[in-house]
């Protein structure tokens, strides 16, 4: 009897998940494995099918050591993402705290702050970027760039410029993160805060001691989400490079597959750095 019950349970569980598993295996997993195989071989697409010859690590070697541009782009991507992701998450946290306060017109504000989601996930963002609408106009002239470069090491100066010019992008890419934070915030029990304030905690203290630890899982989720969204964003320079290599007869499919896998590994390192730092804080407490 027990076994039959467990079997039934398993079948019910399976009935929820099987469509996803099939779709995932066919349309996501299989192509992924195929690119992994491609990355180790020379791929020739001929009239009667694909011809692959195994060449070992050569594609990787070429992409990493012979292609100067690719390494450069990867390095820039790494630094920029490492900086911008925490900023987006912190910004989303601040905004969601503000949007969780009891004020009039909160619903309207929430809608407005969520609005850019339809911009950034659509094709319109490209047009906006081409037009320069994602940067603050005139910011370059307001701060004297030359002075900034004189007084600071170049990498730091570049970073500051990057942050200032991409300020609007930060605002636009925080919609879903904000939603995740808001959901987390609304689960918090108000009696906890009352207890804290009776014990003499200020609002500031109760934010650090109550709100933030409670939101920690959300912060990790948001970190992951933001890294992924930033990295697979279709206008990301690394992606455009991979794409152009793919359709370029000089490089070919195998080479670009290797590039994609290198990029994937870099992204993985980046993600684990960010997640580990966030986790660290949790265990120290």
Partner 1 sequence: MASFQGTKMNPSRFHISQLKFYLILAPLSVFMVMPIIFIFSHSLKPMDELFAFPPRFFVQNPTMDNFRFLLSTFTVSGIPVSRYIFNSVVITVVTVFATIYISAAAGYAFSKKNFKLKNTLFSINTLALMFVPVAVSIPRYFLVVKLGLINDFSVNILPLLAMPVGLFLLKQFIDQIPNELIEAAQIDGANDFTIFRKIIIPMTMPAIATIAILAFQLSWNSIEPATLYVNDEELKNFAYYMSTFTATNNEVAGQGISAAAALIMFIPNLLIFIFMQSRVMNTMAHSGLK
Does residue 219 touch partner 1 according to CB under 8 A?
A: no
Quote the CA–CA distance of 223 and 30 in Å, as a whole number.
Answer: 27
CB of 13 vs partner 1, minimal distance in Å? 4
Piece of the chain touching partner 1 by CB under 8 A; list 62-70, 79-87, 178-186, 272-280 = 178-186
Give 54's DSSP letter: E
Does residue 271 touch partner 1 according to CB under 8 A?
A: yes
Does residue 112 touch partner 1 according to CB under 8 A?
A: yes
Q: Which is nearer to partner 1, 28 or 156 (CB)?
A: 28
Quote the CA–CA distance of 233 and 194 in Å, as a whole number.
Answer: 43
Piece of the chain touching partner 1 by CB under 8 A; list 59-67, 70-78, 206-214, 276-284 = 206-214
Interface residue with partner 1, options 173, 231, 251, 274 (CB under 8 A) = 231
- Sites for partner 1 among residues 145-174 (CB under 8 A): 168, 171-172
Helical spans, DSSP H, in 57-144? 58-61, 68-99, 106-114, 117-120, 124-130, 139-142
For the chain, the distance separating the N- and C-terminal CA atoms, rounded to the nearest angstrom, is 48
Does residue 47 touch partner 1 according to CB under 8 A?
A: no
Q: Output b/e per residue, 21-49; b: 16+ Cβ within 10 A.
A: eeeeeeeeeeeeeebeebbbbbbeeeeee
In 3-state terms, what secondary structure has residue 187? Answer: coil
CB of 156 vs partner 1, minimal distance in Å? 26
- According to DSSP, the residues that pair with 41 across neighbouring strands are 54
Q: What is the DSSP string of 202-259?
A: -HHHHIIIIIHHHHHHHHHHHHHHHHHHHHH-TT-HHHHHHHHHHT-TTTHHHHHHHH
Interface residue with partner 1, options 103, 155, 249, 276 (CB under 8 A) = 103
CB of 102 vs partner 1, minimal distance in Å? 5
CB of 121 vs partner 1, minimal distance in Å? 5
Does residue 87 touch partner 1 according to CB under 8 A?
A: no
Interface residue with partner 1, options 75, 152, 228, 235 (CB under 8 A) = 228
Quote the CA–CA distance of 43 and 46 in Å, as a whole number.
Answer: 9
The residue assigned the tokens 């959300």 is 218
Q: Which is nearer to partner 1, 6 or 281 (CB)?
A: 6
Angle at 249 between CA 248 and CA 255, to 5 degrees: 70
Does residue 55 touch partner 1 according to CB under 8 A?
A: no
The 26-45 contact track toward partner 1, x by CB under 8 A, reads xxxxxxx-xx--x-------
CB of 20 vs partner 1, minimal distance in Å? 4
Does residue 264 touch partner 1 according to CB under 8 A?
A: yes
Does residue 221 touch partner 1 according to CB under 8 A?
A: yes
Considering CB under 8 A, how many residues would be counted as binding partner 1? 99
CB of 177 vs partner 1, minimal distance in Å? 11
């Amino acid at each position: 009897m027990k076994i039959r019950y467990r079997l039934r349970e398993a079948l019910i569980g399976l009935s929820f998940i099987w469509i996803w598993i099939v779709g995932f295996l066919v349309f996501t997993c299989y192509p992924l494995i195929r690119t992994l195989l491609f990355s180790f071989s020379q791929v020739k697409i001929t009239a009667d099918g694909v011809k692959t010859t195994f060449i070992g690590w050569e594609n990787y070697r070429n992409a990493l050591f012979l292609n100067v541009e690719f390494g450069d782009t990867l390095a820039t991507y790494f630094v920029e993402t490492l900086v911008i992701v925490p900023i987006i998450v912190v910004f989303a946290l601040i905004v969601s705290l503000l949007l969780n306060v009891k004020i009039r017109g909160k619903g309207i504000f929430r809608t407005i702050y969520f609005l850019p989601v339809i911009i950034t996930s659509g094709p319109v963002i490209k047009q906006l970027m081409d037009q320069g609408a994602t940067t603050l106009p005139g910011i370059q002239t307001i701060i004297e760039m030359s002075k900034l470069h004189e007084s600071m090491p170049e990498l730091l100066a570049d970073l500051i410029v990057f942050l200032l010019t991409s300020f609007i992008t930060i605002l636009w890419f925080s919609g879903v993160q904000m939603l995740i934070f808001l959901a987390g915030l609304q689960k918090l029990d108000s009696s906890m805060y009352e207890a804290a304030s009776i014990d003499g905690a200020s609002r500031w203290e109760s934010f650090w001691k109550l709100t933030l630890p409670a939101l920690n899982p959300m912060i990790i989720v948001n970190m992951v989400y933001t890294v992924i969204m930033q990295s697979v964003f279709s206008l990301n320079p690394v992606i455009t490079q991979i794409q152009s290599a793919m359709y370029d007869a000089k490089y070919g499919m195998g080479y670009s597959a290797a590039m994609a896998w290198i990029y994937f590994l870099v992204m993985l390192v980046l993600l684990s750095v960010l997640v580990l730092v966030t986790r660290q804080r949790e265990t120290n407490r």
